[in-house]
Structures are given as C-alpha cells and as structure tokens.
C-alpha cells in the first residue's frame, strides 16, 4: 500500500510517498482502508520534531497524519466491538509510527466511532482533532450557555470554524477574529460580528466577553484580561510551548487579577468524543468546511501551506486521488 512517510525530522520536503507492507492488526485493533484523512497543525509539529523530547513519541521513520475515516477491512484478535465492512472515523495516537495519510492503517478500536448515516467520509475525517477541541472547549471546559458572549480568536481555522458553529448552536453571541481574507467566511459561519485583526485591534473592540476561546493562541491570557467580564474564562489551545506556559501561568494568577480564569484546552479524544461529534455532524450543527482536497503526493505542499498559520477550514487527503498530469 502507499503511505506518506518521513525518515528524519525536518521541513515538508522530508515527506515522500512510499510503498510499504500492509499493516496487520493485533488484538484490540482493526485495519481501516482509508477513504479520507484530514490535516492538523499537530502533523507538521510532529514532523518538525517539536515533540521529539516527549518520551512516548516515536521517532522517524514514521507516517504523517492522525485523523481519518474509512472502512474496516480486517479485525485483529477475534470478535470485538467493531466488524469488517463498518464505516468508522477517528484519530490515531500521535505517539505511534502509523500515519493516516495512507491507503490503510491499523487503529486501536477505542480510537474509532461509527460514521453516522448521511455523513460523508471527508466530512467525518475533518471532525476528530479540530471539532473535538472546539466542542470540548466550549461544551465541557466553558459550559457555554445561551446568551453568553464568546470571542473566538482564529475563527476561520480548523478549530475556530467548528467553535463558531457550535457556539451559535448553543445560543451564544459570537464575535470572531480572523484575517481580512476570511471575514466573509467567518460571517457566513454565523458569527454575530467579525473583527479583522489587521485593521482593528481586538483589545480596543469595546466589548467584554464571558468566554474567550483563543484557538490561534494569538491574544494570550494577560492581554485578554481586559476583554473578560468578571468570572470570565480564557481558553488557549497550547499551540506552542510558550503559549501553553503563558496560559498555565494564567491559570494560577488570573483569579488574583480581576477574578477571571484561564485554562489550556488539551483534547481528551476517543470513541465517546468522536460519537458526540458524529451526532453533531449528522444533525447539521457541525458542518466541516473542506477548503482543499489533495492526494498523497500533495501532502507535503499542503502541510507547508498549513504551517504558514493561515488555514481556512480543513484540508482533506484522499488516498485514491491521483496527481494531476502536468500541462
């Protein structure tokens, strides 16, 4: 089978498509023929070696990509909760060597949920990390309630666009922050107001918020203080060590400075989380925006583009999509 792999940490051009042996599932695992994968910033951060000192992360050679949707073609170790022919979606452990940008991969059963009827494979593949983080942040961490005021920073990105959709469903008043090219897109997601960070300083917006979800980690809790109502919550997504530490410090200090709170959102994924996302997608509450569909040969270019930090919605990888002929 074909898989996008890399043999050393480095820039996007370390990625190449290789012919590798079909993996064999062990007990508690299944082999999934992948119909669609989706990209996340985690993929390029792993490839660049940002997590190389985290002991559980396997060093290259390894595959790239975690999120996937497809069909089970083999079950390891006898009968289990999943069966051959079932359509599933989920996310691989980022610690292992397997990657979802491949024609097939082995996945632990507890990392998969059924694709609901009416949800396409490419939409399901967009959900796990980005949708999971947005819904966990707003539903669980913030317990966002109808009528609350929410600021979403990075509202056009993979995480942010799901956050705007979920927050509108929850009945919040949503202000989205994005760059000039994405203003119409974020308004189209249902945001009540959109702030273009290039032309308007969000800190001077004149509004206060019950919750700030800084999906892009662009604001930082200290600067966000002045936008938070008393008791308000700042949520960052720990996009870098610096931002994770800054929000961690905020978690300790924020209550003493203005009676606010701060927290890093760390996705707690798995079958139960994916089932909730599948249900939200089946009901049309989460509608993944696929900005671009690429084949395996285009993954390196797509990761390079994502690395600029200005993605809109999601990029989907279709392993069966062949490169376009030149000319």
Ligand X SMILES: NC(=O)c1ccc[n+]([C@@H]2O[C@H](COP(=O)([O-])OP(=O)(O)OC[C@H]3O[C@@H](n4cnc5c(N)ncnc54)[C@H](OP(=O)(O)O)[C@@H]3O)[C@@H](O)[C@H]2O)c1
Residues that bind ligand X (CB under 6 A): 40-42, 129-130, 133, 153-154, 156-160, 177-179, 182, 197, 215-218, 237-239, 265-267, 306, 309-312
3-state secondary structure of 113: strand
**Shortest CB 327 distance to ligand X, Å:** 31
What are the structure tokens assigned to 149, written together? 């005021």
Q: How far is the CB of 66 from ligand X (least distance, A)?
A: 10
Select 32 or 216, whichever has its Cβ closest to ligand X.
216
Shorter beta-carbon distance to ligand X: residue 239 or 250? 239
By beta-carbon proximity to ligand X, the closer residue of 116 and 309 is 309
User: Which of 4, 178 has the CB closer to ligand X?
Assistant: 178
Give the C-alpha distances (Å, rounded to integers) separating 1 from 18, 34, 97, 186, 320. 8, 11, 16, 39, 11
Cα 300 to Cα 16: distance, rounded to the nearest angstrom:
8
CA dist., res. 75 & res. 188, Å (int): 42
317 strand-pairing partners? 37, 294
Residue nearest to ligand X (CB): 157
* CA–CA distance, 114 with 42 (Å, rounded to integer): 24
Minimum Å gap between C-beta 243 and ligand X is 8
Within 10 Å of residue 302's Cβ, how many Cβ atoms? 24
State the nearest-atom distance from the C-beta of 215 to ligand X, in Å.
5
Partner residues linked to 127 by β-bridges:
none
Q: CB 20 → ligand X: shortest distance, Å?
A: 27
Nearer to ligand X, 237 or 260 (CB): 237
């Amino acid at each position: 089978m074909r898989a996008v792999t890399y043999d050393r940490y480095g820039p996007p051009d370390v990625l190449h498509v290789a012919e590798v042996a079909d993996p064999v599932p062990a007990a508690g695992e299944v082999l999934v023929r992948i119909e669609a994968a989706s990209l996340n910033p985690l993929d390029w951060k792993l490839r660049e070696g940002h997590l190389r000192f985290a002991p559980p992360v396997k060093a290259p050679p390894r595959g790239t990509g975690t999120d996937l949707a497809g069909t089970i073609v083999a079950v390891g170790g006898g009968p289990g909760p999943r069966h051959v022919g079932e359509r599933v979606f989920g996310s691989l452990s980022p610690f292992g060597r397997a990657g979802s940008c491949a024609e097939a991969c082995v996945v632990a059963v507890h990392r998969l949920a059924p694709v609901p009827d009416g949800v396409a494979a490419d939409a399901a593949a967009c959900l796990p990390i980005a949708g999971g983080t947005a819904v966990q942040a707003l539903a669980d961490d913030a317990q966002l309630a109808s009528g609350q005021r929410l600021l979403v920073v990075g509202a056009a990105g993979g995480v942010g666009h799901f956050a705007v959709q979920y927050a509108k469903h929850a009945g919040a008043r949503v202000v989205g922050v994005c760059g000039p090219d994405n203003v119409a897109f974020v308004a189209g997601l249902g945001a009540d107001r959109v702030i273009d960070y290039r032309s308007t300083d969000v800190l001077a917006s004149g509004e206060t918020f019950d919750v700030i979800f800084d999906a892009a980690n662009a604001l930082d809790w200290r600067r966000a203080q002045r936008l938070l109502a008393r008791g308000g919550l700042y949520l960052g997504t720990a996009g870098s060590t610096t931002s994770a530490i800054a929000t961690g410090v905020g978690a300790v200090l924020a209550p003493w400075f203005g009676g606010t709170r701060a927290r890093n959102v760390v996705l707690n994924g798995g079958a139960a989380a994916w089932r909730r996302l599948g249900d939200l997608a089946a009901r049309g509450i989460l509608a993944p925006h696929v900005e671009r569909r690429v084949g395996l040969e285009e993954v390196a270019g797509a990761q390079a583009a994502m690395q600029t930090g200005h993605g809109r919605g999601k990029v989907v990888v279709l392993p069966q999509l062949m490169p376009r002929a030149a000319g």
